Structure 1
Amino acid sequence: MWWLLVTVAVALGYWLLIRPHRYWLRKGVKQGNPGFIFGDNWGTVLRKQSFADMVAMVYNVSPNTRYSGFYQFLLPTLLVKDPDLIKQITVKDFDHFVDHRSFIPGDSDPLWGRNLFALNGKKWREMRTAVSPAFTTTKMKHMFTLISQSGEHFIKYLSKNDENLITVEIKDIFTRITNDVIANTVFGVECDSLEDRTNEFYMMGKEATNFSSFWMALRFFGYICVPKLFKFLQITLFPKQVLDFFTNVVKNSIQSHNKHDFVRPDMIHFLLQARKNGLKQDETEPLQDTEFEINKNSENTKVDITDEDILSQAFIFFFAGFDGVASLMSFMSHELAVNPDIQTKLIQEVDANLEACKDKLTYEALLGMKYLDMVVSETLRKWPNSVAMDRICTKPYTIEAKYPDEKSVHLKEGDVISVPVFGLHRDPEYYPEPERFDPERFSDENKDNIKPYTYLPFGSGPRNCIGSRLALLEAKTLMFNVLSNFELVPVEKTQIPMVLSKKSMSMTAEKGFWLGLKRRSRA
């Protein structure tokens, strides 16, 4: 009898744990060699590979193919690599791929499950429209004033140190500045994280974005592997103290808005207005092409926005601003430090604009700085914050075969698509010498040579990053302030070449972003 039990156990094990990793082979799609249970995530789970390097690995598994298969644990995922197919899926046939993969149920973790990134279908469209007015040109000019003040405060803080060369872990400083900017513009809370280094807002933000933590990684992978179990056990992605803190901040902000009926142009104000008056696109701001599909049927639409929805939106923008912008600036600082010729050229542009503005940078002058824009664009090319983007098939869809060695791929509702941003950005076919930091790729003469849909730092289509304008504005303004007063130089602790950390799910430097701030003397 025992042999029958063994046979059943082996058959069951094959059906549950091995057969899923042959899914794409059965469909005639090329794939790599997924690891047992972990699939292509085995390196990230065992902390032998960064998530970005995993994306590059699966991108290069099957060269010269428009798409290939890989596995997120046991979940089959179609990796779409062809730029024309990426456009087809994310823009032209967007109605078949409206949603992101939502691995955390909305009622399991209110900080994550109800945010704009995780929302699906009609609820996502309504929330996107409610939040959009926060990113018009008028609002960006207001944000610019707040960001400039933070940048000036940063320089005053550093000026207290009379050393000619100040050694810093630059991401720590940038994170403190972005914390204060986002706390102000999203929650209406004023902080000074440079002087008050352990203020509660900063410490909670740091706890929420600590993706190198073992327990954060366990929660994250737990929701991917056994979401129903984690929901049953009431395990949230973020620690309880983080949830409680941001819940109280948002509740207090809502009470202040309602009690005093004042107009403060922060994120919570726009969401409260949408709840009160319905959705209405700002008529003074022209819609982008990708926004038209979202907003065309949204005029004067009443929408049910709960306090929990407001909490979730406010937190996701804080989350993105706290770590995302700080990471962009940190990678940019590193590249400028190890490429002094590029930094010299950028400093010349900074000085020229500072002189033209009579030592007071303006919004218009900042947007006109072409070389700064080129440097930021190349940083996002080489070090994109989002190394991959996903879509869920929401209606049956067929990718027709185009070449003799292809078979048509029939996708059903719920199938997962992934676009390997990091792989595309490092593909020598699109970017010769991809490891070289070269802002000239984005010059007026060269940027038209970049193949569309191979540069996707903020995603693609209607579900692109709604906060990209604010992120770019913040990074450029703060970097302008830095370079107008300091030169970025390598120090003994600077890691050259840069190596990505294998212990963090977010992209960061293995040994930190240690650099020197060398004082400049402008004539």
Structure 2
Amino acid sequence: MWLYIFIVLALALAWAYTRWAKVKRFWADRGVPHLPIHPIYGSLDFLTQENPGSWMRRMYERYKGPYVGMWLFWRPALIINTPEIARRVLVKDSDNFRNRFLGTGISKGDPIGGLNLFTTNDPAWSMIRRRLTPVFTSSKLKSMNGLKLAKSKELAQRIHNDMVAKKDIEIRTMFADFTTDIIGIAAFGVDSNATLTGESSIRTITKDFMQYDFIRGLSWCSIFFFPELVNIFRFQFFPKHTTDYFRRVFRSMLAQRGGYEGKREHNDLLDALLRMKHEADLNGEVLDEDVVIAQAMIFIQGGFDTSAVSLSFLTYELAFQPEIQDKLYNELLEAKEKNGGDENMDGTILSELTYMNCIIKETLRKYPAMGYLDRIAARDYEIDEKLTIPAGTTIYVNAVGMHYDPDYFPDPMKFDPDRFLPEREHEIKPFTYMPFGEGPRNCIGMRFAQRVLWHALSSLFLKYSVRPKPNAKRPERIQLERKALFLMPEDDLYVDFIPRK
């Protein structure tokens, strides 16, 4: 008996050692510079200790070259550091890189987490993307202008109320209240008054999305980087109580709107999702309730916090840049005068405000929501004449590294919207600026997010200027959230709002 156990253990150890030796040599055998590998966590010793975006920047600066090898546990992966290879992976040869590594890390018991456009892979991804594309047409987005205008007015009123009450204004929380209202109403038709009050039923749920304790951090790290752990520990992309809440809300709104066949009168994202389901049924495509709920939930998860964080970083940067604020204010004032003195400007007018859009682009250069773009090679692929990667290899395009490369963006730590002026934008090398991704799997909600930012900025900066608090940290000293997978501040962000005369 003991001899049998000893033999089995010896064979298992021999197999593990042989496998480990092969894994450890993977990149060296191919002549690829690589990170050190640990026998347990591979190259991911930074997880929960450093924001992945910050880590990607460090790796870009440390390993000068077109690519660098790493390991996800024992799984080889490749970080891409050049726009030329990024273009081939994301666009030219995108048929070989349609799937995301993230999509392999969703538990089989997590249909809402696994069926949304952000996480799912082919063939489901192609069908869902095709069905969702009409949701974000110009006409659909234009129909939601009224919602954004109303909530932008409430945002300015919220600031006024807090100033009267002599409250310090923490802008990330305030902007998250604002974006929760807009996206919650648009995606689920749920009335929410968090912009004015800071509270609503759906805001309670989105606050839970923003909690990055150890367990939440571990579950997201596993989903993004350690898929083998997901089914063992039954981690879920969304906390279970949030999916239960949204399922109840969805079924209630579905009944109120007459089911999938009812008349579509609201012109919001929920109407578009219900229409998508009805049309799929008519065409014999399988599109069940979970798929519809999954899209609405990822719009909220992916939209409310990323937009709120972008507004927060932008406002905080401008607090230290009064001259940029003045340029923005003058542009907004001129647009208001052209609009007959009416400050309620629609998306068409706001889209033409060159300098405001430069400010947004520069914010997204310094603070992209995700610092990297992950893909999986479906077939063996020649990276260059020196390297061919086998099918199944994970690739990370190091977007944030290129965003901070002084060869592409001189003085990259400086907040400089002028980089994106029409007369200078041609200087930006293609595929060195990718805040919304590139290629077929770029962010489908990009234009919706841009419009949310336009309306918020026009409402705020026509009425207020912003200044940093005494002894406030400079933007470059803000600590990024270490347990989050997205690029967001760990510090609270406070500024002073000064009413314009």
Pairwise same-fold verdict (TM > 0.5): yes
Q: How does 1:130-145 map onto structure 2 within 5 Å?
A: 130-145=131-146
Partner Cα separation in structure 2 for residue 6 and residue 162 of structure 1:
69
Stretches of structure 1 lacking an aligned partner (at least 5 in a row): 280-299, 402-406
Aligned pair in 2 of structure 1 residues 443, 500: CA closer, same or farther (>3 Å)? same
Report whether the alignment pairs 1:269 with 2:271. yes
CA contact (8 A) 2:361 2:417 kept: yes
CA pair 225-381 structure 1, distance change in 2 beyond 3 A: closer
What are the residue-to-residue correspondences of 1:42-57 with 2, within 5 Å? 42-45=45-48, 47=49, 49-57=50-58
- Taking structure 1 as reference, are residues 9 and 307 closer, same or farther at Cα in structure 2, changes over 3 Å only? closer
Gaps of 5+ in 2: none
Partner of 2:70: helix, strand, or coil? strand
Q: Is 1:451 equivalent to 2:429 in the alignment?
A: yes
Q: 2:387 aligns with which of 402, 408, 423?
A: 408
Q: Distance in 2 between matches of 1:233 and 1:190?
A: 35
Evaluate the alpha carbon distance shift between residue 88 and residue 96 of structure 1 in structure 2; reply closer, same or farther with a 3 A threshold.
same
Q: Where do residues 289-308 of structure 1 align in structure 2 (5 Å cutoff)? A: 302-308=284-290
Deviation at 1:433, TM superposition (A): 0.8
> Which residue in the other structure is 2:373 paired with?
389
- Give the equivalent residue in structure 2 for 1:329: 311
Over residues 4-56 of structure 1, what are the superposed CA-to-partner deviations in whole Å (9 max), with x where a residue is unaligned?
999767645544556534321122211122344223321223x1x22111111
Q: In the aligned structure 2, how far is the partner of 1:510 from the partner of 1:161?
A: 23
Residue type at the aligned position of 2:52? F
Check conservation: 2:192, 2:201, Cα contact below 8 A.
Answer: no
1:136 Cα shift? Answer: 0.9
Confirm whether residue 356 of structure 1 aligns to residue 321 of structure 2: no
One-letter amino acid of the counterpart of residue 456, structure 2: L
Change (3 A) 1:10 1:125: closer
Distance of 1:336 and 1:36 partners within structure 2? 45
CA contact (8 A) 1:32 1:61 kept: no
Distance in 2 (CA, whole Å) between partners of 1:440 and 1:371 is 8
| Aligned position for 1:239 | 239
Q: What amino acid sits opposite 1:176 in the alignment?
A: D
> Offset at 1:122?
2.6
Separation in 1, partners of 2:226, 2:446 = 33
Q: Aligned to 1:346, which of 315, 328, 351?
A: 328
The aligned amino acid for 2:478 is M
1:258 maps onto 2:258 in alignment: yes
| Contact 2:358/2:418 (<8 A) preserved | yes
CA gap 1:166/1:501 in 2 versus in 1, 3 angstroms: same
Separation in 1, partners of 2:59, 2:20: 20
Alpha-carbon separation, structure 1, partners of 2:87 and 2:433: 12
Instruction: State the aligned residue count.
Output: 491
- 1:339, CA displacement in angstroms? 1.6
Aligned ranges for residues 23-62 of structure 1 at < 5 Å? 23-45=26-48, 47=49, 49-62=50-63
RMSD value, Cα = 2.5
Measured in 1, the distance between the counterparts of 2:25 and 2:191 equals 54
Residues 256, 429 of structure 1: alpha-carbon distance in 2 compared, 3 angstrom cutoff? same
The answer on whether the counterparts of 2:280 and 2:287 sit within 8 Å (CA) in structure 1 is no
CA distance in 1, matches of 2:228, 2:73: 16
Moved more, 130-139 or 54-63: 54-63
Higher mean Cα deviation, 512-521 or 172-181? 512-521
Q: Distance in 2 between matches of 1:234 and 1:481?
A: 44
* Distance in 2 (alpha carbons) for counterparts of 1:398 and 1:161: 58
User: Take 1:275 and 1:467, find their aligned partners in 2: how far apart are those partners?
Assistant: 19
What does the per-residue CA deviation read over 1:50-87, in whole Å, with 9 as the maximum and x for residues that have no partner? 21111112223321x22221223332111122212211
Report the counterpart of residue 509 of structure 1 in structure 2: 489
Distance in 2, Cα, partners of 1:29 & 1:228: 26
TM-superposed CA distance for 1:344, in Å, is 1.5
Range that drifts further, 255-264 or 418-427? 255-264
Distance 2:209 2:199 in 1: 15
Quick check: 1:500 aligned with 2:480? Answer: yes
1:362-403 alpha-carbon deviations (Å, 9 max, x no partner): 3222011000000000010111111101111123322231xx
**Percent identical:** 27
Contact 1:111 1:316 in 2 (8 A): no
Q: Matched residue of 2:466: which SS?
A: strand
CA displacement, residues 118-137 of structure 1 (integer Å, 9 cap, x when unaligned): 22223211111211112111
Counterpart residue type for residue 310 of structure 2:
L
Distance 2:299 2:292 in 1: 11
Once residues 487 and 150 of structure 2 are traced to their aligned partners in structure 1, the CA distance between those partners, rounded to angstroms, is 28
In the TM superposition, residue 207 of structure 1 has moved relative to its aligned partner by 0.7
Label 1:467 to 1:62 Cα distance change in 2 as closer, same or farther (>3 A): same
Cα displacement (A) at 1:424: 0.8
Counterpart check, 1:379 vs 2:363: yes
CA shift for structure 1 position 438: 0.6
Structure 1 residues 336 and 393: CA distance shift in structure 2, 3 A:
same
Alpha-carbon distance in structure 1 between the residues aligned to 2:427 and 2:229: 49
The CA distance in 2 between the partners of 1:386 and 1:146, in whole Å, is 27
The structure whose residues are more often helix, as a share, is: 2
SS at match of 1:121: coil
Residue aligned with 2:123, SS: helix
**Distance in 1 (alpha carbons) for counterparts of 2:352 and 2:88:** 33
- Match of 2:112, SS? coil
Distance in 2, matches of 1:387 and 1:51, equals: 7
TM-score after normalising by structure 1: 0.88
